[in-house]
Chains A and B, each alone.
Chain A
Amino acid sequence: MKWYRVWAIFTRHFYLYKRSLARWMAIFYWPLIDLFVWGFITIYLRQSESLSAAGKPVSFVMAFLGALILWDILFRSQQGISITFLEEVWSRNLLNLFVAPLRPIEFLTASMLMGLFMVTTATLVSAILAWLFYSFNLLVLGVALLPFILNLVAMGWAIGVVTTAIVLRYGQKAEVLAWGLTFFFQPISAVFYPVEVLPAWLQPVARAVPATHVFQGMRQVLRGGAFPVGELLAATALNGVYLAVAFGFFYWIFGQVRELGLLMKVGE
Protein backbone atom coordinates (compact mmCIF):
# COMPACT_ATOMS: atom_id res chain seq x y z
CA MET A 1 0.00 0.00 0.00
CA LYS A 2 1.34 3.41 -0.98
CA TRP A 3 0.33 6.14 1.43
CA TYR A 4 0.78 8.89 -1.14
CA ARG A 5 -2.05 7.32 -3.16
CA VAL A 6 -4.22 7.03 -0.03
CA TRP A 7 -3.42 10.69 0.64
CA ALA A 8 -4.34 11.60 -2.96
CA ILE A 9 -7.80 10.05 -2.59
CA PHE A 10 -8.27 11.55 0.88
CA THR A 11 -7.44 15.04 -0.41
CA ARG A 12 -9.71 14.51 -3.43
CA HIS A 13 -12.65 14.30 -1.01
CA PHE A 14 -11.32 16.79 1.54
CA TYR A 15 -11.13 19.50 -1.17
CA LEU A 16 -14.93 19.29 -1.34
CA TYR A 17 -15.21 20.32 2.31
CA LYS A 18 -13.07 23.43 1.82
CA ARG A 19 -15.82 25.13 -0.11
CA SER A 20 -18.99 23.41 0.99
CA LEU A 21 -20.96 24.51 4.01
CA ALA A 22 -23.56 21.87 3.11
CA ARG A 23 -21.01 19.07 3.56
CA TRP A 24 -19.94 20.37 6.96
CA MET A 25 -23.60 20.60 7.94
CA ALA A 26 -24.09 16.99 6.88
CA ILE A 27 -21.36 15.92 9.34
CA PHE A 28 -23.06 17.56 12.31
CA TYR A 29 -26.67 17.52 11.18
CA TRP A 30 -27.71 13.89 11.73
CA PRO A 31 -26.02 13.40 15.13
CA LEU A 32 -27.67 16.60 16.37
CA ILE A 33 -31.11 15.68 15.03
CA ASP A 34 -30.83 12.21 16.62
CA LEU A 35 -29.63 13.71 19.88
CA PHE A 36 -32.56 16.11 20.11
CA VAL A 37 -35.23 13.59 19.07
CA TRP A 38 -34.01 10.84 21.40
CA GLY A 39 -33.32 13.35 24.18
CA PHE A 40 -36.92 14.56 24.12
CA ILE A 41 -38.22 10.98 23.85
CA THR A 42 -36.20 10.14 27.00
CA ILE A 43 -37.77 13.08 28.86
CA TYR A 44 -41.22 11.95 27.68
CA LEU A 45 -40.61 8.36 28.85
CA ARG A 46 -39.47 9.61 32.28
CA GLN A 47 -42.60 11.74 32.61
CA SER A 48 -44.72 8.77 31.48
CA GLU A 49 -43.16 6.56 34.14
CA SER A 50 -44.45 9.04 36.72
CA LEU A 51 -47.89 8.99 35.09
CA SER A 52 -47.95 5.17 35.09
CA ALA A 53 -46.90 5.15 38.74
CA ALA A 54 -49.81 7.48 39.40
CA GLY A 55 -52.17 4.98 37.72
CA LYS A 56 -52.46 6.74 34.32
CA PRO A 57 -50.65 4.38 31.89
CA VAL A 58 -49.69 5.65 28.46
CA SER A 59 -49.82 3.36 25.38
CA PHE A 60 -46.48 3.95 23.69
CA VAL A 61 -46.92 1.28 21.04
CA MET A 62 -49.98 2.97 19.57
CA ALA A 63 -48.50 6.45 19.75
CA PHE A 64 -45.08 5.50 18.38
CA LEU A 65 -46.31 3.36 15.49
CA GLY A 66 -48.96 5.91 14.53
CA ALA A 67 -46.36 8.69 14.71
CA LEU A 68 -43.89 6.70 12.66
CA ILE A 69 -46.37 6.02 9.87
CA LEU A 70 -47.61 9.62 9.80
CA TRP A 71 -44.06 11.00 9.89
CA ASP A 72 -43.22 8.86 6.89
CA ILE A 73 -46.12 10.46 5.02
CA LEU A 74 -44.54 13.88 5.51
CA PHE A 75 -41.11 12.61 4.51
CA ARG A 76 -42.33 10.72 1.39
CA SER A 77 -44.36 13.70 0.25
CA GLN A 78 -41.26 15.92 0.38
CA GLN A 79 -39.11 13.21 -1.21
CA GLY A 80 -41.55 12.85 -4.09
CA ILE A 81 -40.88 16.42 -5.13
CA SER A 82 -37.17 16.56 -4.35
CA ILE A 83 -36.31 13.24 -5.98
CA THR A 84 -38.38 14.04 -9.07
CA PHE A 85 -36.33 17.19 -9.48
CA LEU A 86 -33.00 15.54 -8.67
CA GLU A 87 -33.70 12.83 -11.25
CA GLU A 88 -33.75 15.59 -13.88
CA VAL A 89 -30.53 17.09 -12.51
CA TRP A 90 -28.72 13.74 -12.40
CA SER A 91 -29.77 12.92 -15.95
CA ARG A 92 -28.83 16.42 -17.27
CA ASN A 93 -32.38 16.73 -18.57
CA LEU A 94 -33.42 19.97 -16.91
CA LEU A 95 -32.60 22.21 -19.85
CA ASN A 96 -34.52 19.92 -22.22
CA LEU A 97 -37.58 20.39 -20.02
CA PHE A 98 -37.36 24.15 -19.69
CA VAL A 99 -36.73 24.81 -23.38
CA ALA A 100 -40.03 23.00 -23.92
CA PRO A 101 -43.21 25.00 -23.28
CA LEU A 102 -43.27 23.89 -19.65
CA ARG A 103 -44.22 26.31 -16.89
CA PRO A 104 -42.54 26.00 -13.49
CA ILE A 105 -45.97 25.57 -11.89
CA GLU A 106 -46.65 22.61 -14.21
CA PHE A 107 -43.35 21.01 -13.25
CA LEU A 108 -44.10 21.52 -9.57
CA THR A 109 -47.65 20.18 -9.88
CA ALA A 110 -46.39 17.01 -11.58
CA SER A 111 -43.79 16.62 -8.82
CA MET A 112 -46.44 17.07 -6.14
CA LEU A 113 -48.59 14.39 -7.75
CA MET A 114 -45.53 12.12 -7.74
CA GLY A 115 -45.20 12.86 -4.02
CA LEU A 116 -48.83 11.91 -3.51
CA PHE A 117 -48.29 8.65 -5.41
CA MET A 118 -45.26 7.80 -3.23
CA VAL A 119 -47.19 8.64 -0.05
CA THR A 120 -50.20 6.53 -1.00
CA THR A 121 -48.08 3.51 -1.87
CA ALA A 122 -45.75 3.76 1.13
CA THR A 123 -48.56 4.41 3.63
CA LEU A 124 -50.61 1.52 2.38
CA VAL A 125 -47.69 -0.89 2.76
CA SER A 126 -46.67 0.49 6.19
CA ALA A 127 -50.25 0.39 7.50
CA ILE A 128 -50.75 -3.22 6.39
CA LEU A 129 -47.41 -4.34 7.89
CA ALA A 130 -48.11 -2.51 11.17
CA TRP A 131 -51.47 -4.28 11.36
CA LEU A 132 -50.00 -7.71 10.51
CA PHE A 133 -46.95 -7.58 12.77
CA TYR A 134 -47.95 -5.29 15.63
CA SER A 135 -51.77 -5.37 15.57
CA PHE A 136 -51.75 -1.63 15.08
CA ASN A 137 -54.68 -0.49 12.96
CA LEU A 138 -54.08 2.96 11.45
CA LEU A 139 -57.84 3.27 10.94
CA VAL A 140 -58.15 3.66 14.71
CA LEU A 141 -57.52 7.35 13.95
CA GLY A 142 -61.01 7.38 12.44
CA VAL A 143 -62.32 10.24 10.32
CA ALA A 144 -59.39 12.43 11.40
CA LEU A 145 -56.99 10.20 9.46
CA LEU A 146 -57.67 11.75 6.05
CA PRO A 147 -57.21 15.40 7.14
CA PHE A 148 -54.11 14.32 9.08
CA ILE A 149 -52.65 12.77 5.93
CA LEU A 150 -53.60 15.71 3.71
CA ASN A 151 -51.96 18.18 6.08
CA LEU A 152 -48.75 16.16 6.26
CA VAL A 153 -48.70 15.82 2.47
CA ALA A 154 -49.15 19.59 2.12
CA MET A 155 -46.28 20.33 4.51
CA GLY A 156 -44.11 17.80 2.67
CA TRP A 157 -44.92 19.60 -0.59
CA ALA A 158 -43.90 22.95 0.91
CA ILE A 159 -40.54 21.59 2.13
CA GLY A 160 -40.02 19.80 -1.20
CA VAL A 161 -40.62 22.98 -3.20
CA VAL A 162 -38.14 24.90 -1.01
CA THR A 163 -35.43 22.24 -1.31
CA THR A 164 -35.98 22.08 -5.07
CA ALA A 165 -35.48 25.84 -5.29
CA ILE A 166 -32.28 25.69 -3.24
CA VAL A 167 -30.80 22.85 -5.33
CA LEU A 168 -31.79 24.73 -8.49
CA ARG A 169 -29.87 27.77 -7.26
CA TYR A 170 -26.85 26.17 -5.59
CA GLY A 171 -26.58 22.94 -7.57
CA GLN A 172 -25.74 19.47 -6.38
CA LYS A 173 -23.67 20.71 -3.44
CA ALA A 174 -27.02 21.56 -1.81
CA GLU A 175 -28.42 18.12 -2.59
CA VAL A 176 -28.01 17.05 1.04
CA LEU A 177 -30.99 19.29 1.86
CA ALA A 178 -33.23 17.12 -0.28
CA TRP A 179 -32.52 14.21 2.05
CA GLY A 180 -32.35 16.04 5.34
CA LEU A 181 -34.40 19.23 5.53
CA THR A 182 -37.61 17.49 6.60
CA PHE A 183 -35.77 15.96 9.57
CA PHE A 184 -34.88 19.46 10.74
CA PHE A 185 -38.57 19.72 11.70
CA GLN A 186 -38.68 16.36 13.48
CA PRO A 187 -37.48 17.41 16.96
CA ILE A 188 -39.84 20.41 17.04
CA SER A 189 -42.84 18.72 15.40
CA ALA A 190 -43.58 16.73 18.56
CA VAL A 191 -43.73 13.55 16.50
CA PHE A 192 -43.00 11.02 19.25
CA TYR A 193 -43.82 13.13 22.31
CA PRO A 194 -46.30 15.88 23.23
CA VAL A 195 -45.28 19.47 22.54
CA GLU A 196 -45.31 20.06 26.31
CA VAL A 197 -42.12 17.97 26.60
CA LEU A 198 -40.20 20.68 24.73
CA PRO A 199 -38.64 23.59 26.65
CA ALA A 200 -41.12 26.45 27.16
CA TRP A 201 -39.25 28.78 24.78
CA LEU A 202 -39.37 26.17 22.00
CA GLN A 203 -43.08 25.41 22.27
CA PRO A 204 -44.30 28.52 20.32
CA VAL A 205 -41.82 27.61 17.56
CA ALA A 206 -43.20 24.06 17.53
CA ARG A 207 -46.76 25.35 17.30
CA ALA A 208 -45.81 27.31 14.18
CA VAL A 209 -45.11 23.99 12.42
CA PRO A 210 -48.20 22.41 10.76
CA ALA A 211 -47.06 18.84 11.54
CA THR A 212 -47.00 19.58 15.29
CA HIS A 213 -50.78 20.04 15.24
CA VAL A 214 -51.26 16.79 13.34
CA PHE A 215 -49.22 14.80 15.86
CA GLN A 216 -50.90 16.53 18.80
CA GLY A 217 -54.25 15.69 17.21
CA MET A 218 -53.18 12.09 16.65
CA ARG A 219 -52.34 11.63 20.34
CA GLN A 220 -55.65 13.26 21.26
CA VAL A 221 -57.56 10.72 19.12
CA LEU A 222 -55.49 7.78 20.41
CA ARG A 223 -56.27 8.82 24.00
CA GLY A 224 -59.91 8.52 23.03
CA GLY A 225 -60.44 12.26 22.86
CA ALA A 226 -62.78 14.16 20.55
CA PHE A 227 -62.14 14.97 16.85
CA PRO A 228 -59.27 17.50 17.01
CA VAL A 229 -60.96 20.37 15.15
CA GLY A 230 -58.73 23.08 16.59
CA GLU A 231 -55.49 21.27 15.80
CA LEU A 232 -56.60 20.48 12.25
CA LEU A 233 -57.70 24.04 11.56
CA ALA A 234 -54.36 25.34 12.85
CA ALA A 235 -52.45 22.82 10.70
CA THR A 236 -54.47 23.73 7.61
CA ALA A 237 -54.01 27.47 8.08
CA LEU A 238 -50.28 27.08 8.67
CA ASN A 239 -49.95 24.87 5.60
CA GLY A 240 -51.62 27.58 3.53
CA VAL A 241 -48.93 30.00 4.69
CA TYR A 242 -46.11 27.46 4.21
CA LEU A 243 -47.20 26.63 0.65
CA ALA A 244 -47.61 30.30 -0.30
CA VAL A 245 -44.12 31.10 1.04
CA ALA A 246 -42.62 28.00 -0.62
CA PHE A 247 -44.07 28.86 -4.05
CA GLY A 248 -43.07 32.52 -3.69
CA PHE A 249 -39.55 31.42 -2.78
CA PHE A 250 -39.38 29.03 -5.74
CA TYR A 251 -40.44 31.70 -8.24
CA TRP A 252 -37.99 34.19 -6.76
CA ILE A 253 -35.16 31.65 -7.06
CA PHE A 254 -36.28 30.63 -10.56
CA GLY A 255 -35.94 34.28 -11.60
CA GLN A 256 -32.38 34.33 -10.21
CA VAL A 257 -31.60 31.09 -12.03
CA ARG A 258 -32.71 32.62 -15.34
CA GLU A 259 -30.72 35.75 -14.52
CA LEU A 260 -27.56 33.71 -13.94
CA GLY A 261 -28.13 31.08 -16.63
CA LEU A 262 -27.92 28.20 -14.16
CA LEU A 263 -30.39 25.86 -15.88
CA MET A 264 -27.60 24.64 -18.13
CA LYS A 265 -25.13 24.31 -15.26
CA VAL A 266 -27.22 22.80 -12.48
CA GLY A 267 -26.27 19.22 -13.36
CA GLU A 268 -22.54 19.90 -13.36
Chain B
Amino acid sequence: MVQQITPAAGRSAGPAVAPAVAVEAVELTKRFGETVAVDRVSFHIAAGEVVGLLGPNGAGKTTILQMLLGTLLPTSGQVRILGLDLTRHRETILHQVNFSSTYVSMPASLTVRENLMVFARLYGLKNPRERVESVMNLFEIADLRSASGRGLSSGQLTRVCLAKAFLNEPKVLFLDEPTASLDPDIADKTRRLLRETRDKNGTTILYTSHNMQEMEELCDRIIFLHKGRIIAMDTPKAVLATYGQASLEELFLLIARRGTAVP
Protein backbone atom coordinates (compact mmCIF):
# COMPACT_ATOMS: atom_id res chain seq x y z
CA MET B 1 0.00 0.00 0.00
CA VAL B 2 1.50 3.29 -1.04
CA GLN B 3 0.84 6.28 1.15
CA GLN B 4 -0.40 9.47 -0.37
CA ILE B 5 2.19 11.98 -1.38
CA THR B 6 2.17 14.84 1.07
CA PRO B 7 4.25 17.75 -0.15
CA ALA B 8 6.25 18.77 2.87
CA ALA B 9 6.20 22.27 4.16
CA GLY B 10 9.77 21.95 5.33
CA ARG B 11 10.77 21.04 8.84
CA SER B 12 11.79 24.47 10.00
CA ALA B 13 12.01 27.39 7.64
CA GLY B 14 10.74 25.55 4.60
CA PRO B 15 9.68 27.18 1.38
CA ALA B 16 7.16 29.95 2.08
CA VAL B 17 5.46 29.76 -1.29
CA ALA B 18 3.85 26.74 -2.90
CA PRO B 19 6.83 24.49 -3.61
CA ALA B 20 7.87 23.84 -7.16
CA VAL B 21 8.80 20.29 -8.03
CA ALA B 22 12.58 19.87 -8.07
CA VAL B 23 12.79 16.15 -8.78
CA GLU B 24 10.17 14.07 -10.50
CA ALA B 25 10.27 10.38 -11.35
CA VAL B 26 7.44 9.04 -13.48
CA GLU B 27 6.84 5.30 -13.78
CA LEU B 28 10.58 4.68 -13.51
CA THR B 29 11.47 1.08 -14.31
CA LYS B 30 14.81 -0.67 -14.63
CA ARG B 31 15.23 -4.26 -15.73
CA PHE B 32 18.51 -6.15 -15.84
CA GLY B 33 17.59 -9.14 -17.97
CA GLU B 34 14.82 -10.94 -16.11
CA THR B 35 15.44 -9.05 -12.88
CA VAL B 36 13.27 -6.03 -12.23
CA ALA B 37 15.44 -3.78 -10.04
CA VAL B 38 13.02 -0.84 -10.02
CA ASP B 39 9.36 -1.34 -10.81
CA ARG B 40 7.21 1.60 -11.97
CA VAL B 41 8.39 3.99 -9.30
CA SER B 42 6.83 7.45 -9.29
CA PHE B 43 7.48 10.25 -6.85
CA HIS B 44 8.21 13.92 -6.72
CA ILE B 45 10.32 16.02 -4.42
CA ALA B 46 9.41 19.62 -3.83
CA ALA B 47 12.08 22.32 -3.99
CA GLY B 48 13.69 22.66 -0.57
CA GLU B 49 12.52 19.29 0.66
CA VAL B 50 14.77 16.74 2.32
CA VAL B 51 13.60 13.29 1.33
CA GLY B 52 15.05 10.03 2.55
CA LEU B 53 15.23 6.99 0.31
CA LEU B 54 15.37 3.88 2.41
CA GLY B 55 14.95 0.18 2.19
CA PRO B 56 16.85 -3.07 2.66
CA ASN B 57 19.86 -3.95 0.49
CA GLY B 58 18.73 -4.61 -3.06
CA ALA B 59 15.56 -2.55 -2.64
CA GLY B 60 16.58 -0.32 -5.56
CA LYS B 61 17.89 2.81 -3.81
CA THR B 62 21.20 3.04 -5.67
CA THR B 63 19.56 2.11 -8.96
CA ILE B 64 17.09 4.98 -8.55
CA LEU B 65 19.87 7.39 -7.57
CA GLN B 66 21.86 6.39 -10.64
CA MET B 67 18.84 6.93 -12.89
CA LEU B 68 18.24 10.36 -11.33
CA LEU B 69 21.86 11.25 -12.08
CA GLY B 70 21.67 9.97 -15.63
CA THR B 71 24.49 7.45 -15.18
CA LEU B 72 22.01 4.61 -15.65
CA LEU B 73 19.38 4.63 -18.36
CA PRO B 74 15.90 3.58 -17.27
CA THR B 75 14.19 0.77 -19.17
CA SER B 76 11.11 2.95 -19.18
CA GLY B 77 9.79 6.01 -17.42
CA GLN B 78 10.94 9.57 -17.16
CA VAL B 79 13.06 11.74 -14.89
CA ARG B 80 12.56 15.48 -14.67
CA ILE B 81 14.87 17.62 -12.58
CA LEU B 82 14.24 21.34 -12.02
CA GLY B 83 11.50 21.11 -14.62
CA LEU B 84 13.80 19.72 -17.32
CA ASP B 85 13.80 16.30 -18.93
CA LEU B 86 17.00 14.52 -17.87
CA THR B 87 17.49 12.73 -21.18
CA ARG B 88 17.44 15.93 -23.21
CA HIS B 89 18.97 18.42 -20.77
CA ARG B 90 21.46 16.33 -18.81
CA GLU B 91 24.33 18.81 -19.07
CA THR B 92 22.22 21.82 -18.00
CA ILE B 93 20.79 19.83 -15.11
CA LEU B 94 24.15 18.50 -13.90
CA HIS B 95 25.48 22.05 -13.54
CA GLN B 96 22.85 22.56 -10.82
CA VAL B 97 23.06 19.16 -9.18
CA ASN B 98 25.72 17.37 -7.17
CA PHE B 99 26.30 14.00 -5.59
CA SER B 100 28.31 12.40 -2.86
CA SER B 101 28.58 8.78 -1.87
CA THR B 102 30.51 6.78 0.66
CA TYR B 103 31.26 4.35 -2.14
CA VAL B 104 32.91 6.92 -4.39
CA SER B 105 36.27 8.39 -3.60
CA MET B 106 38.78 10.88 -4.98
CA PRO B 107 42.33 10.55 -6.29
CA ALA B 108 44.51 9.83 -3.26
CA SER B 109 47.62 11.14 -4.99
CA LEU B 110 46.22 14.68 -5.16
CA THR B 111 45.98 17.03 -2.20
CA VAL B 112 42.58 17.99 -0.83
CA ARG B 113 42.85 21.42 -2.42
CA GLU B 114 43.98 20.05 -5.80
CA ASN B 115 41.05 17.63 -5.84
CA LEU B 116 38.57 20.37 -5.09
CA MET B 117 40.15 22.70 -7.66
CA VAL B 118 39.70 20.03 -10.36
CA PHE B 119 35.98 19.84 -9.61
CA ALA B 120 35.66 23.61 -9.29
CA ARG B 121 37.02 23.86 -12.84
CA LEU B 122 34.81 21.00 -14.02
CA TYR B 123 31.73 22.89 -12.85
CA GLY B 124 33.06 26.07 -14.47
CA LEU B 125 32.94 28.10 -11.24
CA LYS B 126 33.81 31.77 -11.66
CA ASN B 127 36.01 32.12 -8.57
CA PRO B 128 37.26 28.59 -8.02
CA ARG B 129 39.94 29.45 -5.44
CA GLU B 130 37.54 31.39 -3.21
CA ARG B 131 34.86 28.74 -3.52
CA VAL B 132 37.27 25.94 -2.67
CA GLU B 133 38.43 27.85 0.41
CA SER B 134 34.82 28.43 1.37
CA VAL B 135 33.77 24.75 1.22
CA MET B 136 36.96 23.67 2.99
CA ASN B 137 36.07 26.00 5.84
CA LEU B 138 32.46 24.81 5.79
CA PHE B 139 33.51 21.19 6.31
CA GLU B 140 36.40 22.03 8.65
CA ILE B 141 39.04 20.60 6.34
CA ALA B 142 40.96 23.81 5.64
CA ASP B 143 43.90 22.54 7.70
CA LEU B 144 44.04 19.49 5.44
CA ARG B 145 44.33 21.50 2.22
CA SER B 146 47.89 20.27 1.51
CA ALA B 147 47.34 16.72 2.72
CA SER B 148 47.22 14.02 0.08
CA GLY B 149 44.26 11.65 0.02
CA ARG B 150 46.50 8.82 1.28
CA GLY B 151 46.95 10.55 4.60
CA LEU B 152 43.24 11.08 5.25
CA SER B 153 41.03 9.00 7.50
CA SER B 154 37.82 7.70 5.95
CA GLY B 155 35.87 10.35 7.85
CA GLN B 156 38.10 13.14 6.52
CA LEU B 157 37.80 11.74 2.99
CA THR B 158 34.02 11.71 3.34
CA ARG B 159 34.13 15.39 4.30
CA VAL B 160 36.25 16.14 1.23
CA CYS B 161 33.65 14.36 -0.92
CA LEU B 162 30.88 16.34 0.76
CA ALA B 163 32.82 19.56 0.19
CA LYS B 164 33.02 18.58 -3.49
CA ALA B 165 29.25 18.11 -3.51
CA PHE B 166 28.73 21.66 -2.20
CA LEU B 167 31.18 23.34 -4.60
CA ASN B 168 28.67 24.38 -7.24
CA GLU B 169 26.02 25.41 -4.68
CA PRO B 170 23.68 22.77 -6.09
CA LYS B 171 19.94 23.24 -6.21
CA VAL B 172 19.54 19.48 -5.90
CA LEU B 173 21.82 17.30 -3.85
CA PHE B 174 21.89 13.50 -4.04
CA LEU B 175 23.63 11.94 -1.06
CA ASP B 176 24.26 8.22 -0.81
CA GLU B 177 24.97 7.29 2.83
CA PRO B 178 27.05 10.44 3.34
CA THR B 179 27.53 9.98 7.08
CA ALA B 180 28.33 6.25 7.01
CA SER B 181 32.00 6.66 7.92
CA LEU B 182 31.76 9.79 10.07
CA ASP B 183 32.14 9.87 13.82
CA PRO B 184 29.00 10.98 15.73
CA ASP B 185 30.31 14.53 16.15
CA ILE B 186 31.07 15.13 12.47
CA ALA B 187 27.93 13.24 11.42
CA ASP B 188 25.85 15.55 13.60
CA LYS B 189 27.60 18.62 12.19
CA THR B 190 27.00 17.31 8.68
CA ARG B 191 23.29 16.84 9.34
CA ARG B 192 23.09 20.34 10.80
CA LEU B 193 24.90 21.72 7.78
CA LEU B 194 22.49 19.97 5.43
CA ARG B 195 19.52 21.45 7.29
CA GLU B 196 21.09 24.92 7.26
CA THR B 197 21.84 24.64 3.55
CA ARG B 198 18.27 23.67 2.85
CA ASP B 199 16.90 26.47 5.03
CA LYS B 200 19.24 29.10 3.62
CA ASN B 201 19.42 28.16 -0.05
CA GLY B 202 16.31 26.05 -0.51
CA THR B 203 18.47 23.12 -1.61
CA THR B 204 16.53 19.96 -2.37
CA ILE B 205 18.13 16.87 -0.89
CA LEU B 206 17.54 13.21 -1.64
CA TYR B 207 19.26 11.16 0.98
CA THR B 208 19.94 7.48 1.49
CA SER B 209 21.14 6.07 4.78
CA HIS B 210 20.93 2.95 6.87
CA ASN B 211 20.90 5.10 9.97
CA MET B 212 17.17 5.20 10.67
CA GLN B 213 17.45 7.69 13.51
CA GLU B 214 19.21 10.05 11.12
CA MET B 215 16.41 9.62 8.60
CA GLU B 216 13.75 10.45 11.19
CA GLU B 217 15.70 13.46 12.36
CA LEU B 218 16.60 14.91 9.00
CA CYS B 219 13.94 14.06 6.48
CA ASP B 220 10.69 15.88 5.75
CA ARG B 221 9.46 12.78 4.01
CA ILE B 222 10.69 9.27 3.44
CA ILE B 223 10.28 6.95 0.51
CA PHE B 224 10.42 3.35 1.66
CA LEU B 225 11.43 0.89 -1.02
CA HIS B 226 11.05 -2.85 -0.99
CA LYS B 227 12.00 -5.11 -3.91
CA GLY B 228 12.09 -2.23 -6.35
CA ARG B 229 8.72 -0.78 -5.39
CA ILE B 230 7.60 2.08 -3.18
CA ILE B 231 5.74 0.68 -0.22
CA ALA B 232 5.39 3.88 1.76
CA MET B 233 5.90 7.54 1.05
CA ASP B 234 5.03 10.18 3.62
CA THR B 235 6.41 11.99 6.64
CA PRO B 236 8.28 9.64 8.98
CA LYS B 237 5.56 10.06 11.61
CA ALA B 238 2.75 9.22 9.19
CA VAL B 239 4.55 6.14 7.88
CA LEU B 240 5.19 4.91 11.42
CA ALA B 241 1.54 5.45 12.30
CA THR B 242 0.41 3.45 9.29
CA TYR B 243 2.62 0.50 10.24
CA GLY B 244 2.03 0.87 13.97
CA GLN B 245 5.74 1.07 14.77
CA ALA B 246 7.58 3.30 17.22
CA SER B 247 10.65 3.95 15.12
CA LEU B 248 11.93 3.62 11.58
CA GLU B 249 14.48 1.12 12.88
CA GLU B 250 11.64 -1.17 14.00
CA LEU B 251 9.76 -0.65 10.76
CA PHE B 252 12.90 -1.42 8.75
CA LEU B 253 13.47 -4.67 10.65
CA LEU B 254 9.82 -5.62 10.29
CA ILE B 255 9.87 -5.22 6.53
CA ALA B 256 13.32 -6.70 5.99
CA ARG B 257 12.61 -9.79 8.12
CA ARG B 258 8.98 -10.37 7.25
CA GLY B 259 9.77 -9.85 3.59
CA THR B 260 6.45 -8.18 3.02
CA ALA B 261 5.25 -4.64 2.84
CA VAL B 262 1.69 -5.08 4.14
CA PRO B 263 1.06 -2.78 7.14
**CB atoms of B71 and A259 under 8 A apart:** no
Total A-B pairs in contact (CB under 8 Å)? 70
- Counting CB contacts under 8 A, is B61 at the interface? no
**CB atoms of B122 and A102 under 8 A apart:** yes
What residues of chain B lie closer than 8 Å to A264, measured between beta carbons?
62, 66, 71, 103-104
- Counting CB contacts under 8 A, is B69 at the interface? yes
Residue of B nearest to A106 (CB): B122
A97: shortest Cβ distance to chain B, in Å?
A: 7
- Counting CB contacts under 8 A, is A34 at the interface? no
Instruction: Give the complex CA separation of A92 and B70 in angstroms.
Output: 18
What residues of chain A lie closer than 8 Å to B164, measured between beta carbons?
96
What residues of chain B lie closer than 8 Å to A261, measured between beta carbons?
30, 63, 66, 71-72
**CB atoms of B122 and A98 under 8 A apart:** no
**CB atoms of B69 and A99 under 8 A apart:** yes
Instruction: Give the complex CA separation of A245 and B190 in angstroms.
Output: 47
What residues of chain B lie closer than 8 Å to A129, measured between beta carbons?
none
**CB atoms of B107 and A93 under 8 A apart:** yes
- Counting CB contacts under 8 A, is A49 at the interface? no
Interface residues on A, range: 20 to 34
Instruction: Give the complex CA separation of A259 and B31 in angstroms.
Output: 10
- Counting CB contacts under 8 A, is B94 at the interface? yes
**CB atoms of A101 and B122 under 8 A apart:** yes
Instruction: Give the complex CA separation of A201 and B105 in angstroms.
Output: 50
Instruction: Give the complex CA separation of A166 and B219 in angstroms.
Output: 41
Instruction: Give the complex CA separation of A263 and B71 in angstroms.
Output: 7
Instruction: Give the complex CA separation of A49 and B231 in angstroms.
Output: 82
Question: Lowest 10 CB-CB distances: which A-B pairs, in order?
Answer: A261-B72, A92-B105, A91-B107, A101-B94, A99-B99, A100-B122, A263-B71, A101-B91, A95-B104, A99-B69
11 contacts between A and B (CB under 8 A): A87-B109, A91-B105, A95-B99, A96-B104, A99-B70, A99-B98, A100-B119, A258-B71, A260-B32, A263-B71, A264-B62
